[in-house]
Amino acid sequence: MPASNNSTVNVDYEVIIVGGGMVGLSLAGLLLEQNIKVAVIDPKAVESDWPEDSIGQRVSAITRASERLFKQINAWDFIGQHEKAPYQRMFVWDGESSRGKIEFDASLIAQQNLGHIVENRVLRRSLFQAIERERQLGWLCPERCVSVDYQQDYAKLELESGRQVTARLLVAADGAFSWLRKASGVGQEQKPYGHKAIVCAVKTEKPHQQTAWQRFDHHGPLAFLPLADAHYCSIVWSVDEDYADELLALGHEAFAARLSQAFESTLGEVSLATKPVAFPLIERSAETMVAHRLALIGDAAHTIHPLAGQGVNLGFSDAVELATAIKNSLQKGADIGLQRCLRPFERARKSEIKAMQLAMQGFKRLFEQEVPLIQMARSYGLALTDKHPLLKQKLIQKAMGL
C-alpha cells in the first residue's frame, strides 16, 4: 500500500521505530507488509550465530496469537524445529497446600499445543531474517539516537553518527528504560513488586514432558519452562529481593539444591546449565501511549510481573493494533502521526494492559499470604477450578489469545 498523507513536507521514512528488539521488529514486519517505508534504529546488532550447544539466558512463552503474527510476517519458518519447544500442558500448584493444583491440557480445546517456549535471541534473529531484504526497510543498526525534535508535520532524530532522519511517526519500542519516551517528555508510573526474577537454564533428571510447570509459595512463583531438549528447562524464579540476593550468593551446587527443594524435586535432581542472573520486577505504565507523532509499544509503554508469561505477548499485540491504526489512517488519506489518528490504538490496548496488570498484582498478593485461612481458600479455589472443564477452556483460550 503506497503511503499518503495531507502534508507536503518530504520525509525520509513514514515510520521510524526506535528499538530493534522482538516487538519493534514485529511492527516493522507488519508495516513492510503494507509497503510502508520504515526505519529501525538500535544500538545492538542482531545476534545470528552462537555455539550449537549454548542456551540463551532469556526465553519467551509464545502464545498462539503471537505465533499467528510470526507466520503472517514470514518469521516463523526462520525458527528451526530444534529451536522451539511446544508445550502440551501447564501444571500449576500451591506449594503451601496439598489440594491446590490445576492442570491445563491442549487436548481440552482440541489443539496440538498451548504455545511454544523460544529463546529471545532466536525470536529476534528470525524477525530480522524475515525483513532484512525488504527494499522499504532502513536498517540503522548499530546506531544510537542523541536528540529528537517534533515539528508540526514531521519528527526528526539526530543520531550519534551525526546523521539526521525524519518521519511522520516515531515509535518507541526501546524497552522499559526507553530513551525515546524520556526524550519526548512522556512520564511513567512505577509500582515495584518488591521481587527480583532469577533466570537461568537447568538440566533435570526427569524429562519435562512438554509441560510448563509453576509452583507458588509465599516467596513467589517458580516456573520451569520446557526447552527443546527433554531434560532442559528455563527457570524464572520470582522471589523477595532479599531472598533473591541470598540465593545468588550461593555456589552453583547450593543454588541447585535450593531450587530442587523449592520445586519439590518434581523433575528429580537439578543442575545448572547457565549462570543465574536476576533483575528487579516493576510494574510500569507510561502516562500516555500516544502523543503528537509518537506511539509507545511493548516495554516502553508497560511492564508486568512475568508470572503469567504475557509480557512480550502484550507487546506483540501492541504492534498488531498500531499497524492496524496506521493502515486505517493511510486508507483514509490521513496523517499517521497525528495524535487523533493514533487514539484508536491507545483505546484498543489500554483496557487489556490494565486488566493484565491488575491480575498480576492480585495473583502476587494472593499467593504471598501466609494466613492459614487465605491459604485454604486459594487452595480450594484452584481445586474447584480444576474440576470445571468449561471454565478451564475459557482460561486456556484467553491465555493463548484464541
Other CB atoms within 10 Å distance of the CB of residue 191: 12
CA contacts within 13 A on the Cβ side of 104? 26
C-alpha cell at position 228 = 527443546
- Which residue, among 267, 41, 72, has the nearest Cα to 143 in the 3D structure? 41
Ranking 3-12, 53-62, 109-118, 331-340 by mean pLDDT, the lowest is 3-12
- Which residue, among 89, 91, 93, has the nearest Cα to 379 in the 3D structure? 93
- Helix, strand or coil for residue 71? helix
In the block, residue with C-alpha cell 508486568: 304
- Which residue, among 401, 360, 374, 378, has the nearest Cα to 102 in the 3D structure? 378
pLDDT for residue 274 is more than 80: yes
Q: Span 3-28, mean pLDDT? A: 86
Contact (Cβ atoms closer than 8 angstroms) between residue 60 and residue 73: no
Residue 53 has what pLDDT?
83
Residue 229 has what pLDDT?
95
Residue 155 has what pLDDT?
98
Contact (Cβ atoms closer than 8 angstroms) between residue 220 and residue 194: no
Pick the CATH number of 13-400 from 3.40.640.10, 3.50.50.60, 3.40.50.970, 1.10.3720.10: 3.50.50.60
Nearest-10 crossing angle of helices 120-131, 22-33: 20
Percent of the residues in the chain that have a pLDDT greater than 70, as a whole number: 85
Taking the C-alpha atoms of residue 318 and residue 256, their distance in angstroms, rounded to an integer, is 37
What is the amino acid identity at position 325?
A
C-alpha cell at position 382 = 484452584
Residue 4 has what pLDDT?
44
Phi, psi of 204, rounded to the nearest 5 degrees: -115, 145
Residue 2 has what pLDDT?
39
Please report which residue ranges of 290-371 form alpha helices under DSSP H. Answer: 311-331, 339-367
Higher pLDDT, 311 or 165: 165
pLDDT for residue 362 is more than 70: no
Other CB atoms within 10 Å distance of the CB of residue 152: 9
Residues 6+ apart with CB under 8 A from 242: none
Residue 387 has what pLDDT?
59
Residue 9 has what pLDDT?
77
Contact (Cβ atoms closer than 8 angstroms) between residue 304 and residue 238: no
Q: How far is CA 92 from CA 193, 223, 386, in A?
A: 21, 9, 10
The 10s digit of each residue's pLDDT in 73-132 is: 999 999 999 999 999 998 888 776 666 777 888 887 778 899 999 999 999 999 999 999
DSSP annotation of 210 reads T
> Any idea where the domains of the chain sit in the sequence?
13-400
The 10s digit of each residue's pLDDT in 292-318 is: 999 999 999 999 888 666 779 999 999
Taking the C-alpha atoms of residue 126 and residue 80, their distance in angstroms, rounded to an integer, is 9
Taking the C-alpha atoms of residue 396 and residue 402, their distance in angstroms, rounded to an integer, is 9
Taking the C-alpha atoms of residue 204 and residue 213, their distance in angstroms, rounded to an integer, is 13
Residues in the chain: 402
Q: How far is CA 85 from CA 44, 79, 110, in A?
A: 26, 11, 19
Phi, psi of 18, rounded to the nearest 5 degrees: -90, 105
pTM metric for this prediction: 0.90
Burial 138-147, CB ≥16 within 10 A → b, else e: bbbbebebee
Contact (Cβ atoms closer than 8 angstroms) between residue 281 and residue 305: yes
Average pLDDT score, the chain: 89
Contact (Cβ atoms closer than 8 angstroms) between residue 315 and residue 284: no
Contact (Cβ atoms closer than 8 angstroms) between residue 196 and residue 239: yes
The 10s digit of each residue's pLDDT in 363-384 is: 555 556 554 544 555 554 555 5
Other CB atoms within 10 Å distance of the CB of residue 370: 9
